[in-house]
């Protein structure tokens, strides 16, 4: 579904990001995954190469907080592969801290990674995509961007901002043949969820109409669809992948 496409995926070393990297490689994309540190990138690449040594995958660890560092890395990728067809802004951090324990620094830290880092990737990649005649930008939102959550207010605030970014850029960049969409996962079986005790997980499962938590591959499948030509007339959408858990 992605044969001949070049994709950059941030937060690609584990969880949803890693599953999406693998899904894209299985569908014949060339992938560059971004991670926070060289050791995590190397570990992810080793796991992928062990599964299929012929997969065209590489990695980098630019500081996503620096537009200049990200722009330089994206330019290297464009020089190496000739283009960047797909950008997935998946890097981010969750939060569950009560507001009574908040500081402005804590709030800004989450906003900087979940919103600022995405924009630091988008600004330079848009220039590249406009020059090549189009592209696809995908963002990771969240179920709580729609419904909120009982604590950790910065996380739903940041993901609501991602939604606004997605809608607005879809309208702005549509004339340049650049599609912009987002995937809003629900509770997903990542390392953090897997570490929760069963007595905490089961009530969550009971609140999901499909009666299971999502798997990283479920989210990866949504990204695959939105990145593919099957979604060539889809832009400005926030695709919920949450088993209909909307509370």
Q: Is 155 a catalytic residue?
A: yes
β-strands 178-185, 57-60 pairing: unpaired
Which has the closest alpha carbon to 144: 110, 108, 178? 110
Q: Which residues contact 75 (CB under 8 A, 6 or more apart)?
A: 124, 128
Region at 7 (left for phi over 0; alpha for psi -120 to 50; beta for the rest)? beta
Place of tokens 């800004």: 108
Which has the closest alpha carbon to 155: 145, 164, 166? 145
Which has the closest alpha carbon to 227: 90, 55, 65? 90
For residues 189 and 61, give the distance between their C-alpha atoms in angstroms, rounded to a whole number: 25
β-strands 86-89, 57-60 pairing: unpaired
Asked whether the CA dihedral 8, 13, 16, 18 is positive or negative, the reply is positive
* CB count in 10 Å sphere of residue 105: 7
For residues 216 and 18, give the distance between their C-alpha atoms in angstroms, rounded to a whole number: 8
Q: Which of 155, 156, 186, 208 is catalytic?
A: 155
Catalytic residues: 155
């Amino acid at each position: 579904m992605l044969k001949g496409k070049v994709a950059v995926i941030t937060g690609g070393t584990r969880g949803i990001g890693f599953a999406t990297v693998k899904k894209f490689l299985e569908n014949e994309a060339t992938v560059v995954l971004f991670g926070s540190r060289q050791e995590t990138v190397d570990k992810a690449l080793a796991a992928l190469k062990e599964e299929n040594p012929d997969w065209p995958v590489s990695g980098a660890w630019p500081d996503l907080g620096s537009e200049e560092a990200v722009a330089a890395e994206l330019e290297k990728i464009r020089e190496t592969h000739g283009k960047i067809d797909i950008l997935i802004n998946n890097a981010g951090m969750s939060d569950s801290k009560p507001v009574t324990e908040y500081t402005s620094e804590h709030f800004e830290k989450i906003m900087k990674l979940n919103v600022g880092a995405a924009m630091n990737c988008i600004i330079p990649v848009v220039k590249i995509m406009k020059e090549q005649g189009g592209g696809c930008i995908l963002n990771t939102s969240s179920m709580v961007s729609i419904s909120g959550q009982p604590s950790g207010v910065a996380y739903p605030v940041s993901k609501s901002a991602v939604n606004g970014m997605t809608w607005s850029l879809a309208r702005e960049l549509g004339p340049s043949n650049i599609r912009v969409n987002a995937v809003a996962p629900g509770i997903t079986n990542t390392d953090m969820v897997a570490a929760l005790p069963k007595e905490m997980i089961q009530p969550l499962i009971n609140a999901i109409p499909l009666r299971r938590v999502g798997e990283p591959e479920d989210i990866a499948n949504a990204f695959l669809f939105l990145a593919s030509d099957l979604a060539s007339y889809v832009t400005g959408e926030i695709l919920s992948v949450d088993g209909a858990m909307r509370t």
